[in-house]
Amino acid sequence: MNDTTSREKLNKLRNDFPVLHQLVRGRPLVYLDNAATTHKPRAVIDTLVQFYSMDNSNIHRGVHYLSEKATFAYEKARGQVKRLLHAKSEQEIVFTRGATEAINLVAKTFGDMRVKEGDEILISAMEHHSNIVPWQMLCEKKGARLKVIPMNDRGELLLDEYEKLLTEKTKIVSIVWISNSLGTRNPISEMIKMAHEKGIPFLVDAAQAVAHEPIDVTKFDCDFLVFSGHKSYGPTGVGVLYGKSKLLEEMPPWQGGGDMIKSVTFEKTLFADIPYKFEAGTPNIAGGIGLGVSLEYLESIGWDWIMQHEKSLLAHGTRLLTEIAGLKLIGTAANKAGVLSFVMDGIHPHDIGTILDRHGIAIRTGHHCTQPVMQRMGVPATARASIALYNMPEELDVLAETLKVVKKVFER
Amino acid sequence: MINFTDEMRDLYQETILDHNRSPRNFRKIEGAESLEGFNPLCGDRMTIYIKMDGELIADIGFEGSGCAISKSSASIMTTIIKGLDKKSALEWFEKFHELITRPLGAKIDSERFGKLLVFAQVSEYPSRVKCAGLAWHTLKSILDGKKESVSTE
């Protein structure tokens, strides 16, 4: 695809996102907080409106028209997730509230079942709090230990240290594929292989990956994979746990309630088959259906275009930011996704964030729910610009120009 | 080239930038009472040191990392509080609180707020009110005899 047609495609798809076309504080919105959440295309918004306007009903239990329609749409979304992940069956797709809930589910069921006193759980130095705290809670309960794969100053995991940390005590490895605060793309396939060589199950936190590159859980052979709908152009409040069916079947149920049972008497409850065993209560039906539509949207844009576009945005942004004297990128791994985390000499990230905001630019500032990463990198916080498929190179130009304004404010 | 707006000039006033660059009383005081304030939102930590002489605040210092708003607020606070008695210090806390949580457009009695006036604009930045308040809330907790570290959440 040449540059002109690529640009036409970008302009066209930007029209799919109503939220982008507004003035914020008198200037055109420049949205660079996509690692926190992405915007929703019209197709997803229309789906939610349509569902609540015309199709609203509970699922899996009604004999009436609307209930059947809602059930069909919800289960169709499960099929869309299955297709996106290249899972073997819909049974391997559990809907959750988000990636966080999915990790908690695994820790509370699989973890509870497998981890004993003295065992170890292995995570990495760049995990989001959501992939630290559930394991810490499990360790506390079981008397197990949380081990951490260290990283270098560029934000790359040390694989030789990882190798050493994989022992007969390790009961699960849970690793982020793409770091939300550094942008590092971990060599996840290789890491899964290394764990499996020692028979250790592996969970992939794909929260930051799913909107940005194709995923094939069969090729990865990962045991679990989690992601959130809202970071992949879908609604908030819905996410996914993928698990190999053999493991999901072995795991005890998590929450008890309606929809996760075959039969209930006061003496004994028979649990439903997977994935329903893990889906107690009325789920986020509209959210699930919306998630399915967002994944369809991603596919319609095409992975080749998305990856090439975001790669060139990252290169452009990296070049622009590197040219600003006194600005230091935090996270300079050789293999990176569209995250530009940075600090500026003598200017706190919060002040950067406020000044950018007053120019209509949305970035994230703070610790990004990765306080250990901040400690490792020796900074209290960073400013972070993160890219999505609808961003334009000009928006990064505006970012860079406005960062020069930030410097001016502080240098006067 | 985009120019910075007057609005930015209002928030980041010269006094604030000056206290950010060279904070006053930015030091640990040996043998003083101390308390850590924490802003979980941004991870900023700040420790306030106070040496009392009876009811008088004989010396006050602070340490920590923070944004220009939180650092300058702490710095200016120490210059106001040093040498005051506890009761007057708490009155200044109330004034500060009143200033940054006042309703939009409310008139300000500039004499009443004195040195605090440079923070008048902060009330228009809801996400930054906690930055400005961190030092003051930590101070109040020490004066109230609290020992546990303080969180702005």
Model pLDDT for residues A37-93, shown as the tens digit of each residue: 999 999 999 999 999 999 999 998 778 999 999 999 999 999 999 999 999 999 999
From chain A, the residues in CB contact with B42 under 8 A are 349-350, 365-367, 380-381
Domain match, A327 and A231 both = no
Q: Of the given ranges (A199-203, A367-371, B83-87), which has the lowest mean pLDDT?
A: A367-371
What does the alpha-carbon distance between residue B32 and residue B52 come to, in Å, rounded to a whole number?
Answer: 8
CA dihedral B139, B144, B149, B153 (to 10 degrees): -80
CB B104, CB B123: distance < 8 Å: yes
Q: Which of A299, A325, A357 is the last residue of a domain?
A: A299
Please answer yes or no on whether A348 and B7 come within 8 Å at the CB atom.
no
Domain B6-144 adopts which CATH fold? Sufe protein. Chain: A (3.90.1010)
pLDDT tens string A226-278: 999 999 999 999 999 999 999 999 999 999 998 888 889 899 989 999 999 99
- pLDDT value of position A237: 98
Give me the CATH number covering residue A322: 3.90.1150.10
Please answer yes or no on whether A409 and B12 come within 8 Å at the CB atom.
yes
Q: H-type helices in A221-262, by residue range? A: 245-250
Which one, of A304, A305, A311, lies nearest residue A393 by Cα?
A311
Give the start-to-end residue ranges of the domains of chain B: 6-144
- pLDDT value of position B1: 41
Name the average pLDDT for chain B: 89
Domain match, A66 and A87 both = yes
From chain B, the residues in CB contact with A354 under 8 A are 11, 125, 127-128
Per-residue confidence at B6, pLDDT binned at 50, 70, 90?
low
Domain match, A29 and A70 both = no
Q: For chain A, how many structural domains are there in total?
A: 2
Check whether A36 has a pLDDT greater than 80.
yes
Check whether A27 has a pLDDT greater than 70.
yes
Domain match, A389 and A243 both = no
Min CA distance, B149 vs chain A (Å)? Answer: 18
**Percentage of chain A surpassing pLDDT 90?**
92
From chain A, the residues in CB contact with B9 under 8 A are 409
pLDDT tens string B17-72: 999 999 999 999 999 999 999 887 777 889 999 999 999 999 999 999 889 999 99
Name the average pLDDT for chain A: 96
Domain match, A288 and A316 both = no
Instruction: Please give the residue range of the domain that contains residue A334.
Output: 3-40+302-411
Instruction: Give the residue from A129, A343, A354 with the most B CB atoms within 10 Å of its CB, the best one to mutate.
Output: A354
What does the alpha-carbon distance between residue A385 and residue A38 come to, in Å, rounded to a whole number?
Answer: 13
Q: Which of A236, A271, A299 is the last residue of a domain?
A: A299
pLDDT tens string A122-137: 999 999 999 999 999 9
Q: H-type helices in chain B, by residue range? A: 6-11, 14-21, 68-81, 86-100, 110-113, 129-143
Q: Which of A244, A274, A299 is the last residue of a domain?
A: A299
Please answer yes or no on whether A381 and B4 come within 8 Å at the CB atom.
no
Q: What's the burial of A172, exposed, middle or buried (CB within 10 Å: 0-12/13-18/19+)?
A: buried
Per-residue confidence at A201, pLDDT binned at 50, 70, 90?
very high
Cβ–Cβ contact B68 with A under 8 A: yes
Please answer yes or no on whether B44 and A381 come within 8 Å at the CB atom.
yes
CB B53, CB B148: distance < 8 Å: no
- pLDDT value of position B35: 95
What does the alpha-carbon distance between residue B153 and residue B149 come to, in Å, rounded to a whole number?
Answer: 12
- pLDDT value of position A5: 83
From chain B, the residues in CB contact with A359 under 8 A are 2, 5
Q: Is A118 left (phi over 0), alpha (psi -120 to 50) or beta?
A: left
pLDDT tens string A166-192: 999 999 999 999 999 999 999 999 999
Domain match, A68 and A191 both = yes
Check whether A2 has a pLDDT greater than 80.
no
- pLDDT value of position A135: 98
